[in-house]
Amino acid sequence: MIYLDNGATTFPKPAGVINSVGNTLRNYGANPGRGGHRLAMKASELLYDARKNVADFFGVEDSSNVIFTLNCTTSLNMVIKGILKKGDHVIISSYEHNAALRPLEKLKEKGITYSVAEVFEKDNEKTLASFREQIRPNTRLLVCTYASNVFGIKVPVERICALCHQYGILTCVDAAQAAGIVPIDLSDSSIDYLCIAGHKGLYGPMGTGALIVNCDTIPDTFIEGGTGSNSASSEQPEILPDRFESGTGNLSGVVGMSNGVNFVRSRGQLNLYNREMQLIQRAYKALSKLDKVILYTEYPDMDYYVPVLSFNIKDMDSETVSQILSSRFNIATRAGLHCAPLAHTTKGTLDIGTVRVVPSAFTTLNDINSLISAVCNIK
Amino acid sequence: MDNLVQLSSVTQAMRARDLLKSNGINSAVQRITASRGQGPCAYGLKIFNRFDEAISILREHNIHVIGRARGEIR
């Protein structure tokens, strides 16, 4: 099979990730941060090492600010529901995923409003102006994707976050499609809350993610419960990461995610990014020559895009095209709306969706050539 | 008396250990009996040398030392 659905989750996983998950389950299967026996302490060390590794990867000095979560969606919900109060206003981009949109829609019931700032492809000045226009006296939070999970368009989040800070607005970035692909350094950043998925560009197992807190404003708790610390108190601990990590976590998954980070480091993050962009550019160039193919972005370069490409075949439903690619050519792509109706509304594809192609470190030029050949042959 | 202090969590205890190590001070994380009135379930740090300096370093780096631990669990 040629797997080009890496935007949903990367596959295959690196051997180091698989081995580390197995090794943890086999040899270190105690509950970290609970008991004091040798195996529990070893498990705690593994969790701590993973936390330090992820912190270091994103330029975070204090690893306590790395909170392990189930996925990027959970991280976004923790910020959105932990920060906002009645009367607050939020700005989002026109490419947000349902992970941001749905929690905000839910919070309308509590008197919280949001508005959408348009993103202008390859025009950061216009995009910045668009976000500036949406700022209101009661704007409390920016929630913005680093890059569209459908069209690969990068949003100039650092500049937008810096703008928001001028107005005292907190900033939350959804880096699901960027973490592990685009270098992100929080040591010199206006991003207050970085939400990441472990199972995409970081090559970890599914069911892993993190919220990285990069400011002094700590969200209210999302859930409360046992943390293994300060247990005599009925109140949730204030200290990070315990405040947000109630209940037994996914130790083997987190260790796998940390080994995924090591994999990205070993390959060179910029090398991976560059290589995957070349694959997407190859697909773009070839598909753009086919009259029957519709593409939705300008030519994707590293300044403005991450390696994500959406297309359609004229007069064909995206699901049908993806199904043919799977059944006839054994090529895995993702069709439909990619949980991002706002992005599809922006591009006018809400009714038909698109076929999405996302390579990974394991995708070859032959894979992309096979995709191009398959699309040529679809009638 | 043991040079054993209570930290707020196992993560903080490990952070403290690493910080002290980078300053040439040896310590070890262990499960402890918590400071008076705080019941069981706590992690602490046994500091092997330069105890007073170690406490100052931890405070400088905003690592909250809850107090001397009541006793080591052996």
Partner A contacted by B3 (CB < 8 A)? no
Residue A229 has pLDDT above 90, yes or no: no
How much is the pLDDT for B72?
53
Residue A119 has pLDDT above 50, yes or no: yes
Instruction: Give chain A positions within 8 Å (CB) of B9.
Output: 33, 227-230, 237, 239, 242
d(CA A357, CA A306) in angstroms, rounded, equals: 12
Give me chain A's average pLDDT, please: 97
DSSP code of A188? Answer: G
> Domain of B19: which CATH number?
3.30.70
Instruction: Give chain B positions within 8 Å (CB) of A241.
Output: 11
What chain A holds in terms of domains, given with CATH numbers, is 16-266 (3.40.640.10), 268-377 (3.90.1150.10)
pLDDT in tens, chain B (74 residues): 468 999 989 999 999 999 999 999 999 999 887 665 566 678 889 999 999 999 999 999 999 998 876 555 44
User: How many residues does this entry show for chain A?
Assistant: 379
- Reported ipTM: the value is 0.85
**pLDDT range class, residue A355, cuts 50, 70, 90:** very high
DSSP code of A38? Answer: H
Which among A216, A231, A235 is the top mutation candidate for probing chain B, defined by the most B β-carbons within 10 Å of its own β-carbon? A231
- Asked whether the beta carbons of residue B31 and residue A36 sit closer than 8 angstroms, the reply is yes
Phi then psi for A274, rounded to 5 degrees?
A: -60, -45
| Nearest chain B alpha carbon to A239 | B8
How distant is the alpha carbon of residue A263 from its chain centre?
18
- Asked whether the beta carbons of residue A241 and residue B10 sit closer than 8 angstroms, the reply is no
| Domain enclosing residue B19, as ranges | 4-72
Residue A331 has pLDDT above 70, yes or no: yes
How much is the pLDDT for A366?
98
pLDDT in tens, A252-311: 999 999 999 999 999 999 999 999 999 999 999 999 999 999 999 999 999 999 999 999
- Asked whether the beta carbons of residue A41 and residue B8 sit closer than 8 angstroms, the reply is no
Instruction: Give chain A positions within 8 Å (CB) of B40.
Output: 231-232
pLDDT in tens, A186-212: 999 999 999 999 999 999 999 999 999
| Cβ contact A356:A309 at 8 Å | yes
Number of domains composing chain B: 1
Tokens of A307: 């390696």
CA-CA distances (angstroms) from residue A221 to A105, A146, A240, A246, A351?
20, 25, 11, 10, 38
Region A166-170: what's the mean pLDDT? 98
Nearest 5 degrees, angle CA A65-CA A161-CA A97?
80
Partner A contacted by B16 (CB < 8 A)? no
Number of H helices, E strands in chain A: 11, 13
d(CA A176, CA A299) in angstroms, rounded, equals: 22
- Asked whether the beta carbons of residue B39 and residue A231 sit closer than 8 angstroms, the reply is yes
How much is the pLDDT for B74?
45
**Which residues numbered 29-68 in B keep a CB inside 8 Å of some CB on A?**
29-31, 34, 38-43, 64
Partner A contacted by B28 (CB < 8 A)? no
